[in-house]
Structure 1
Amino acid sequence: MSLTHPFIFFSSDEINALRRKASGPICGTILKNTERVADARLSWEVYTPALVPPFAGYRLKAGQAMNYDEDYAAKYVQQYRMSMLVRNLSEFYAFCYLMLGEETYKEAARRWILTPCRWDKRTWAAYEESKLPIEDYTPAELRSIEKSGGACVGVVVDPEKDYKKPIFEDTGIFTTFKLRGLAVAYDWMYPHLTDEERETVRGMLAYQGDRLYHHALNQNALLMNSILNHTWLDTAGLGLAGVALYFEHPPAREWVKLCRDRFVGVLLPRTVGVDGEFPEPGPYVWEYSYTAAALFFEGLRRVTGEDLFASPAFRRVSHLLTHVLSPAGGLAFDDDMTGFDRADGMAYAFRPLMFRFASRFQDPQAQRYALYEGFDPPGAEKGKLYPGGKWYPEAREYNGHWEYIWCDESIPPQDPPDPVPSTLLRDAGWAILRTGWRPRDTYLALRGGTYLGPHDRMDQNKVVLQSGGEKLLEPLYGANYMHFEYFKYTPGSNTILVDGEGQTEIPKEAQHATFMNQYKTENTNGKILLFEPSPDFDAVIGDASGAYGDRLTRFWRCIAFLKPDCFLILDDLAAPRPSAFDWLAHSYGDISIRGDDVIIRKPKASLLIRAVLPGGASWHLDRTPPDTNNERLLKHLALRPSRKTSSVRFLTGLFVSPADREPVSLRAEEKGHSVIAHLTLRGQTLAVKFDLAAKKIQLLQN
């Protein structure tokens, strides 16, 4: 059977019904916002991106201006940004024309589709000619290029000079991002293109798809040996291009089969966690992996009938997103990946996918996410940021068209029915403690699990805390290209420093192997030793003893959550030699120190942190290294013992919005392997026992 374009997500017979969705209050709002965004972006340029120098580009030395070579970073971001713009705006304007019929949208769609399809092959290949012979590249450098989406696809030998010149091409994200958007836009705009324009687009999709398929068969494209984000989006992008050409270019069926088999045999079973986790720290890459896969799965279903979207592994993604959506509208720990893969807007970026889970499976919890009361209205221009760094003004990718297509207004939103809202995401080792599902609820996340590959933040046993609609304890990340040793790693997180240093970094050449050896095993850098949630009291213990190399022999973080607004945190640390320890607690709020207490204030909520153990410890508020704007933020907060020691216990109490209630009291009683915290809270005298020998936390009095 041959289908006529459009057919991937809807047919020509379904377009009128799709337009009628605008009569509903939700879809009507989305379409109005979509039209506003479309009008505002009509002048955006389809520029020809610069070619990227084919080298790793890393300096990796603290104190230098950037952790990337300036020229490499600028050109890489330029390619990355344009690939995402083509992916997004080609399909976006095609949708706008089909729904709204404006000629300006038709011309914008044609421009975003045809301009990249008329680029020469070198522009699509993305990399400059190499200035070095292949022998001058180390295995680590070649691996770094590969992880960034490129590959050495051949070597040209000059026998007279005994010179072997490597040929580098993009065989990953720059190509597959564009293939996704162009495949969708080609399908939707097919009836509105001339025969010559169709051939131009079809020819470029066919050439690039055949090129990637050939290199993939040689294990030289799509990061075939990986199971992380590039492999997901590359496989999905090539697969979706194959779906678009399924009835026009016979080899496209082989692309589709390769991509389908890769998902079924490797990516779905090996990547997706038992609770839907994507095993990397940043929601930026969860989104473009899971959303790209969803698009390919839905396209595959249209041409073959096979429904990978409904596979048990992919269905679990909805569970993940439901439970990591934080009250303040973030995801899990709100980890940024690098200076150009930020967490800002990522919860909104998942709205289309959650609308699809809701509509496909009549899932009220997924609908509740998509319509979360802490979000701006559907169709809001609040999604993920295009990569830009310091070279481009901030602008957000817009996916209102997918929200509109996948929204079913008949499904009522509903909170998860769990009597206890706290949850443990087992394969990632993320413990989420919460009081409920509203924007002002209290929420604490603790990390204690597997190493998460090349983007790992080296921050086992970190915490973030939200309450009253504010992020009260948070990482110090942001759009930073400078001082990765601080902003990307342990010092910028709420965990522990030993002698001023963070957790042990994995050598670059061992990062992927380390991840593969740890994920979904017991052999992990961090662990959750205890997770016992209940309606009024949650207890969790994280173990990061193995995260500091030989500098620590023990780091247990024990947390008691006395709901709704009090946390007790006991950290038990031991080192082979006397060491200086820093207990970190960061926030972008106003920070003031008053003896043993710290007050963090934000507009809608505040936090009191009271230090009880060790005796004689003191608070220090220091400046960060310079960020991308050359600002040194007075936000690095640390609790430090008075002297070096080979073992120490930190006991702190965290009390949300202390200005809203009577004063609290907190003291500690140490008894061998136990610590009992006595506190007076809301007129009650309570005691919590941390039994380290038994790995238990008990509320002794109610």
Structure 2
Amino acid sequence: MVSNQDLSEGRTGWNLFVPGGSKDAGCKWDILPGQGKDGAAALSMSSSSDARYAALSSKAAVEAGKVYRFSVQVKAEPGSEKVARSAGVLARMTFFSKDGKDLGSEHVHFARGGRAALASSINQTYSDSLPTEWEEIAGVFTAPAEAATVQVALFCWSTKGTVLWSGVQLEPAATGTAPTPLLQAAASRPPAASLSTGTTTPPPADVPAMTELPAWAASHPRIVWDAATLERTRLRIRDHPEVAAMWRNLEALCSSYCDPSQGKFLKPEDAFQDFLALQGGSHENRAKLEVALRRWLTPLDLLSFAYVVGGREEFGKKAVELAVATAARITPDKMENGFFYTRTFPTRSLALAYDWCFPLFSPGQRETLRDAIAKHASVLYLGSLNGVWGQSTLGRIWNWNVGTASAWGLAALALDGESNYPTRQWLFQAARNVEDYLRYAIDPAGGIVEGPVYFGYGGGYLPYFVEGLKRRTGEDLYLATNYHKVTGWLPFEILPGGGRVNNIMDSGFRISTGDVLIYALHRDNDRPLARWLWEGIFWRDGRFVSENQSLPAAILWAPESMDREKVAQRESSLPLSGWADSRGLVASRTGYGGDDALFTVHAQQYTDFKHDQADKGQFTFYAYGDDLVIDSGYGNDSSREKSTSGFAHNQVLIDGQPELQGGAHSRTDGWITGALFTPVVDLALADIADAYRYAYKSNFKDATYEKDFRQAVERATRQTLFVRTPVPYVVIFDEVRKDDSPHEYGWMLHAKSGREFQVNGNDVAVKPVSTPPLLVATQPWDGTGSADPSRPDGGWTGTLQVPSAGRYVVWGLTGTDNPDGNKSDSFFLRLNGGKLGYTSGKDPSRFAWTTFNKQPLTWVPLNDGDVKTGALDVPAGPLKVEVGVREPGAWFAGLALLPEGKLPADDNSLPAGAVSLKASEGEVRGAMKLVTLPTREARAWLQVSVLAPNRFENRVDAFQTTREGTHPRLTLLMRDSTARFLSVLIPHRAEDAKLPVQRVDAARGSVGVIKASGGEDLVGCWDGTGISTSEVETDAEFLWLRRDGAGRVTALAATNASYLKVAGASVFTTSSGPQSIAVSAGQAVTSGDSSLVRFDLPDLQVASMKQPAAWMARREINISR
């Protein structure tokens, strides 16, 4: 019956099957003429390490209900070994239905000693040894009711070495022959209580038994859930209005997945078609793969959760359908075109679905899922062992690591006790990888190395693993690591008014995936703080603002409501200054209200892998409800001109070049060398010279951590001052010296779109640009946070008049009012009926223009999906433009045709002198509407007073970010061997006038006076020797001094100083070298031993600076004298 069963035709009709867990075991096979029993041919199978793999025959026809006999000869070559309590060698009869369906639970396995078993009892076929002489494996079976074909699988079951097979025979059995009795499971499992229904579920028949079945393997669900947790969750839904609202949202989503009349209805036969049609390659394409995959897996997660909590069987059955489709279609090989991290999504979703919907899976489906989960988990586990990010602790600091380890850890928890895969080893290694991340990627202050946005994304379903591990082993990685400190630092990441977090280091403003932080709020004993953080990040304007994927975590763990006064009191007690060393961030603020000021300065050492940019020394400034000095945001690309580059940041250029950039991530070092905090004034010091000197060569395959030195730079420091009262302001002192020769140095400042730099001598005003209301063309979205997938017909048509032929780039001024902007960020666009510029050959000939929308409006060049269109050859004359609806909620306010190489100056208006067209100047039809976008009132402006250098040139240009549109950039230029830039940045409400900032004659250094609220502050920087005026004498590099009306010093800050005299009187002296010092409100802080500083000021409490603990040794302050 089996083609070439005597092996006389060589390999014909046979092939080798190697599961993912054995891919690296060196599995091989061959046909050896004359080496079988009695001189017949033999099929040889060998592996260099323990492996489970099989030789597969071609399929042979069988008749359902008919009895067949199988036999084969087998022996192991000398030196071969097997894993204890494994079968060693097995022959499996693999059955398929008429339509090719694998009848998994019906397969029959024959083993040594005349034993036979279904998959559910396969562990009972174990043997103590391998056969060293030819031995027959044989048995009789009845073809299952649905069987149409059978395939013989000759298995080496956890063996190492060489096994020979010979004399395969499969034939109808003689009439009256009885089938071989099937072994039963050695231990029966007790009935499992179903948390969702309260009923008792009979033990599944297909779960591979162990000789002794532990209690852990006796029931599902086992991850997160027990009876008490389920009851507590149901009570939260009943009694907690916010949780009830989120539960209603989740149920509505799940209902839409199950209802054929709804646009979100999910048909299992359509599952993942969009994902399977995509190709990888570029970063953008791999990101699209992830989005397509999550379109199906997020509903699977929500349905599984809804079933286990609410018990609605329709949700559970839909989850089962999607899980089975996932197992069948999303195999590990289908994941190879995406990011490695993307492989975590099917692993974790299948593990949770298997555990939470266990009663609804048939025995065969459970086996299918177990095999799929194990294959995915094995790829993650082995990939991390072989990948640099998993091999070293430095690599494990990367955000992907924790989510990857958590995913295979969830698989281990789900399968433990039910699989022959090494789930205990998986669990141990997952815990160690996660522990390293939580211990070193979160510093002792609670600062997250890559920031809260990447912790949310990369952490993924970490909380479910942490909870499951705690229940399974007693190990609590939340308490044992720095995970429990995250909530203490998180307030410093939140921008004034809440809803956004700091977007430095290649990040965005929004924590879209919130599970890891919501769980931290749940575990925090400081309940008012947890509640304040919940309202500041996740619960805004009466709704949950993270992605739907995080709804289960929010329902489980959102902090309880409490008295508003308690939350307000906790906010008022939050610290106003913080330094997280491994995060490389110092934050200073006046408070946490919408009008309060927040100043941050960043300089971080490189680890091994992480999102970072050429941004060492980067600072941002927010005040009076506005973004005054900005970061250019997410880039994650290797462009030397956009958001990842040094050109995108507030730093100093040396001969036109910024800090180095090693690639898509900059891979450079910067160092916060000190920070002093007092009630009135904060001081921060950063050494950023290394960021100009070298970049690391480290990448995915290279863990050498070698430095690639590019240039010598003697010194590059940034010293910053934040003053709280009576008027908040910032002072920035930069000192850069490449060598003894003169060089051009450029000090850059980035302002948000819609601002302009008004330069008047040494003063710069950064003010809003006044623009009239704009009309935008849009198909309105439905207001639920997602676009209508039906995409009704609609469009806009206009004509651009091109004065002369040339190479032009088409730009659109685009935006959205959908908070989930990536669901409303594309149009279809056609030029001259599709005849201009379109070369990809698709029909219709139109661009799928992805605008990467942000709020409110940004200029974005034309593209086709993720394919960059670039400049087009445009003839003179009319250019017809047709814009079609693709995603509801997407806006465009105008189009512009700019010559190649030219950028829009700002994001508020059409470029002056350009070939352009407003949305209001075209015609709309169908679902496309014209909507008036109201003008946003300006809330604040920024005064920049330059005290050094005395003479400079200025350049204002438009900077094009990677994803955040265009904004204005100011560059102050000077030429000398050493650059010293000293600038005062004062925020003002829109209606306020500037404050007087006057230069003061100085014998040494550069000095100025700031006058505010009747007082006077002096600020200065040295000339390389010190600072000297008619009243002040010091060797400090940087000095700030406040005096009252009587001339008495009430507050000060000085860096690297050994003395200070004011009006001839000593203020302080040090007895052992220079120190940095800050004084205000009767408190003094010193960078070194405070006992070595003598203060000639009354009533001071003196303390030394507390260096935050860090995993990396601190670099000493670099003093160039």
TM-score, length-normalised on structure 2? Answer: 0.50
Query: Can you list the C-alpha shifts for 1:630-677, whole angstroms capped at 9, x where unaligned?
Result: x7x3x2412323x52222222222121254434311133475775433
| Residue aligned with 1:438, SS | coil
Aligned to 2:558: 407
Within-5 A mapping of 1:317-356: 317-329=486-498, 333-335=502-504, 337=506, 343-346=508-511, 349-350=513-514, 353-354=517-518, 356=520
Aligned to 2:390: 223
Matched residues, percent identical? 19
Is structure 2 residue 658 aligned with structure 1 residue 502? yes
| Residue aligned with 1:323, SS | helix
In 1: Cα distance, 2:471 partner to 2:591 partner: 39
* Distance change in 2, residues 1:628/1:448 (3 Å): closer
1:52–1:126 CA contact under 8 A, matched in 2: no
Q: CA RMSD in A?
A: 3.4
| Residue aligned with 2:650, SS | coil
In 1: Cα distance, 2:1020 partner to 2:600 partner: 21
In 2: Cα distance, 1:259 partner to 1:672 partner: 63
1:359–1:408 CA contact under 8 A, matched in 2: no
Within-5 A mapping of 1:476-495: 476-478=632-634, 483-495=639-651
1:91 corresponds, among 301, 306, 309, to 301
In 2: Cα distance, 1:442 partner to 1:275 partner: 22
1:5–1:12 CA contact under 8 A, matched in 2: no
In 1: Cα distance, 2:622 partner to 2:961 partner: 26
* Distance change in 2, residues 1:307/1:377 (3 Å): farther
Query: Can you list the C-alpha shifts for 1:543-569, whole angstroms capped at 9, x where unaligned?
Result: 212221236422222222221521122
Is structure 2 residue 7 aligned with structure 1 residue 7? no
* Distance change in 2, residues 1:665/1:475 (3 Å): same
| Residue aligned with 1:431, SS | strand
Aligned to 2:955: 620
1:587–1:600 CA contact under 8 A, matched in 2: no
Query: Can you list the C-alpha shifts for 1:170-191, whole angstroms capped at 9, x where unaligned?
Result: xx41222321222223222223
1:233 Cα deviation (Å)? 1.5
Aligned to 2:240: 24
* Distance change in 2, residues 1:670/1:121 (3 Å): farther
- Structure label with greater radius of gyration: 2
1:355–1:366 CA contact under 8 A, matched in 2: no
In 2: Cα distance, 1:578 partner to 1:471 partner: 35
* Distance change in 2, residues 1:109/1:497 (3 Å): farther
1:29 Cα deviation (Å)? 2.9
Structure 2 counterpart of 1:443, which letter?
Answer: L
Is structure 2 residue 422 aligned with structure 1 residue 422? no
Structure 2 counterpart of 1:188, which letter?
Answer: W
2:1001–2:1007 CA contact under 8 A, matched in 1: yes
* Distance change in 2, residues 1:359/1:477 (3 Å): closer
In 2: Cα distance, 1:92 partner to 1:84 partner: 12
1:425 Cα deviation (Å)? 0.8
Within-5 A mapping of 1:550-561: 550=711, 552-561=713-722
Is structure 2 residue 757 aligned with structure 1 residue 593? yes
1:644 corresponds, among 956, 967, 975, to 975
2:402–2:433 CA contact under 8 A, matched in 1: no
In 1: Cα distance, 2:570 partner to 2:651 partner: 31
1:682 Cα deviation (Å)? 2.6
Aligned to 1:287: 456
1:102 Cα deviation (Å)? 5.5
Structure 2 counterpart of 1:203, which letter?
Answer: D
In 1: Cα distance, 2:324 partner to 2:254 partner: 18
Structure 2 counterpart of 1:600, which letter?
Answer: K
Structure 1 counterpart of 2:350, which letter?
Answer: L
In 1: Cα distance, 2:387 partner to 2:981 partner: 50
Within-5 A mapping of 1:657-668: 657-668=988-999
In 2: Cα distance, 1:336 partner to 1:426 partner: 15
In 1: Cα distance, 2:607 partner to 2:521 partner: 26
Is structure 2 residue 447 aligned with structure 1 residue 261? no
1:568 corresponds, among 728, 731, 734, to 731
| Residue aligned with 2:938, SS | coil
Note the residue ranges of structure 2 that are not aligned, 5 or more in a row: 1-214, 258-263, 694-710, 769-936, 1027-1034, 1045-1121
In 1: Cα distance, 2:256 partner to 2:951 partner: 58
In 2: Cα distance, 1:607 partner to 1:639 partner: 16
Query: Can you list the C-alpha shifts for 1:581-634, whole angstroms capped at 9, x where unaligned?
Result: 2222212242223323222337333322233322332443212358579x7x3x
In 2: Cα distance, 1:90 partner to 1:569 partner: 51
1:475–1:492 CA contact under 8 A, matched in 2: yes
1:24 Cα deviation (Å)? 1.5
Query: Can you list the C-alpha shifts for 1:57-110, whole angstroms capped at 9, x where unaligned?
Result: xxxxxxxxxxxxxx5345422333244445533222222344455566445533
In 1: Cα distance, 2:360 partner to 2:558 partner: 26
Structure 2 counterpart of 1:400, which letter?
Answer: L
Task: Select the structure that is richer in strand.
Answer: 2
| Residue aligned with 1:240, SS | helix
Aligned to 2:895: none
1:238 Cα deviation (Å)? 0.7
Aligned to 2:601: 446
Bigger mean CA offset, 420-429 vs 117-126: 117-126
Bigger mean CA offset, 583-592 vs 40-49: 40-49
Aligned to 2:286: 76
Is structure 2 residue 684 aligned with structure 1 residue 540? yes
* Distance change in 2, residues 1:690/1:354 (3 Å): farther
In 2: Cα distance, 1:551 partner to 1:329 partner: 42
* Distance change in 2, residues 1:625/1:420 (3 Å): closer
Query: Can you list the C-alpha shifts for 1:424-451, whole angstroms capped at 9, x where unaligned?
Result: 1122321101111223321011012312
Structure 1 counterpart of 2:486, which letter?
Answer: V
1:464 Cα deviation (Å)? 1.0
Bigger mean CA offset, 604-613 vs 407-416: 407-416
Query: Can you list the C-alpha shifts for 1:322-365, whole angstroms capped at 9, x where unaligned?
Result: 3222225466640364xxxx51421x643762454344534432
Aligned to 1:191: 359
Bigger mean CA offset, 323-332 vs 689-698: 689-698
Structure 1 counterpart of 2:485, which letter?
Answer: R
1:34 Cα deviation (Å)? 3.2
1:582–1:638 CA contact under 8 A, matched in 2: no
1:680 Cα deviation (Å)? 0.9
Aligned to 2:469: 300
Structure 2 counterpart of 1:570, which letter?
Answer: F
Aligned to 1:144: none
Task: Select the structure that is richer in helix.
Answer: 1
* Distance change in 2, residues 1:658/1:682 (3 Å): farther
Within-5 A mapping of 1:98-177: 98-99=308-309, 105-106=315-316, 108-119=318-329, 121=331, 123-127=333-337, 172-177=340-345
1:117 Cα deviation (Å)? 1.0
1:116 Cα deviation (Å)? 1.6
Report 1 or 2 for greater relative contact order, CA contacts < 8 Å, sequence distance ≥ 6. Answer: 1
1:313 corresponds, among 482, 503, 515, to 482
Aligned to 1:209: 377
* Distance change in 2, residues 1:464/1:231 (3 Å): same
Is structure 2 residue 1041 aligned with structure 1 residue 699? yes
| Residue aligned with 2:445, SS | coil
1:463 Cα deviation (Å)? 0.6
Aligned to 1:47: 272
1:277 corresponds, among 400, 424, 447, to 447
In 2: Cα distance, 1:290 partner to 1:184 partner: 16
In 1: Cα distance, 2:574 partner to 2:1036 partner: 27
Bigger mean CA offset, 100-109 vs 194-203: 100-109
2:656–2:746 CA contact under 8 A, matched in 1: yes
In 1: Cα distance, 2:265 partner to 2:954 partner: 52
